Amino acid sequence: MKRIVLATAAALALVTVALYYGAPSLFKEPLLALNRHLSGLEEKTIHAAMHQIHYLDSGPPESPADPGGDGAPVVLLHGIFAEKDHWVDFARPLTATYRVLAPDLPGFGESTRNENLPYDYAAHVTRLGAFLDALNIQRAHLAGNSMGGTIAALYAIEHPERVASVAFIGAPHGIRSPQHSTMDRLIDAGQRPLVANDAAAFDAMMALVFEKRPFLPYPTLAATEQEALRNAASNTRLWDAQLKDRYLLDEQLSNLQQHPMLALWGSNDRVFDVSGAQRLERRLPKARVETLPGIGHLPMMEAPGDTAGRYADFLGALQPAAGISTQK
């Protein structure tokens, strides 16, 4: 009997391993759900701006902080061709203190993408407002990476009364860095480095965006690659639309003066060269600008604990300014 049990267990283990690598889609959602649970996040959906938007929400915090004086939640905005779960590890230290939300921006992740609709920055800013309205969020701390950082900044310029602070978690898109990055040179050569048409291009994209590749379970990585290849033609349209606004944020920086600001920029960012951080600091002298040694374009994935700690310190420093005690 003991041999039968051991043989059965071994067979089940072999089947599980075979499925893990042979049918990774079976494991993707359970793994994502587990990681979300560990961070106190729950997936939800809402209809806004003609899109079904999937988002992660921590709900009311256990120990609510109130830097803006009105219980403003933290809203995390991903970059182009990214998605909400890229924020889960970063959010883990924050959800006990803040309500944290991370949407799949319309056109990305699990949210609706309509091939007949635009996904340029003007459309993203409008849809972010519709998302906040649908959730009855009147004021929020906006933090974004790459495209998401630019959306946060543009929304703050258009709706300053609805934004408690702006943070760039990794370089924002649209600043004219004095030194060209690897991606700048690829774009100037006529390439689309973040659009993957085959496995080799996907691997090159991963090497471009990460300096320190985070651990990604095989089912998650495989599903991400499959989705990128499947959406290559559609992604090309979105890429070309965004490239028309290549330096949009650089043109708008002077209008971004009235909000507390944090910028965390990876020293080894090959997407947007770190020399852009100095340009941002000169244009926004009141902003808190920090360079992250040895980090690439996605610090919330490469160093989520350290990056979240820096962001939490930034939010915490707003409390005395608002006249709010940090004592319970």
pLDDT digits (tens, 9 = 90+) for 257-304: 889 999 999 999 999 999 999 999 999 999 999 999 999 999 999 999
Residue 327 has pLDDT above 60, yes or no: no
Helix (H) or strand (E) holding 222: helix 218-230
Residue 13 has pLDDT above 60, yes or no: no
194 burial (CB, 10 Å; 0-12 / 13-18 / 19+) is: buried
What's the pLDDT tens digit per position in 199-254? 999 999 999 999 999 988 888 888 899 999 999 999 999 999 999 999 999 999 98
Residue 12 has pLDDT above 80, yes or no: no
Q: Which residues contact 277 (CB under 8 A, 6 or more apart)?
A: 171, 263, 265, 289, 291
- What local confidence, expressed as pLDDT, does residue 32 receive? 84
CA separation, residue 105 to residues 32, 51, 118, 125 (Å) = 18, 10, 13, 10
- What local confidence, expressed as pLDDT, does residue 5 receive? 41
Residue 309 has pLDDT above 80, yes or no: yes
> Which long-range contacts link 7-14 to residues 24+ away (Cβ below 8 Å)?
none
Domains and CATH numbers, the chain: 37-179+246-320 (3.40.50.1820)
- What local confidence, expressed as pLDDT, does residue 26 receive? 59
What does pLDDT average to over the chain?
89
Strands 100-103 and 51-57, sheet pairing: antiparallel
The two three-digit tokens of residue 105, written as one number: 């921006």
Distance of CA 152 to the CA centre of its chain: 11
Q: Which one is predicted more confidently, 192 or 218? A: 192
Alpha-carbon distance 209 to 194, whole Å?
Answer: 9
The two three-digit tokens of residue 137, written as one number: 């969020």
Q: Find the mean pLDDT for residues 98-115.
A: 97
* End-to-end CA separation in angstroms for the chain: 60
Residue 27 has pLDDT above 90, yes or no: no
CA separation, residue 277 to residues 11, 164, 245 (Å) = 55, 22, 19
Task: For residue 90, count other CB atoms closer than 10 A to its CB.
Answer: 26
- Bridge partners for 266 per DSSP: 292
Residue 62 has pLDDT above 80, yes or no: no
Q: Whole-model pTM above 0.85? A: yes
Alpha-carbon distance 152 to 164, whole Å?
Answer: 11
- What local confidence, expressed as pLDDT, does residue 188 receive? 96
Residue 122 has pLDDT above 70, yes or no: yes
Closest CA to 295 of 210, 238, 195, 180: 210
With tokens 């994935």, the residue in question is 301
Closest CA to 315 of 153, 160, 89, 97: 97
Q: Which residues contact 5 (CB under 8 A, 6 or more apart)?
A: none
Crossing angle of helices 218-230 and 199-209, in 10° steps, is: 110
- What local confidence, expressed as pLDDT, does residue 7 receive? 47
- What local confidence, expressed as pLDDT, does residue 223 receive? 87
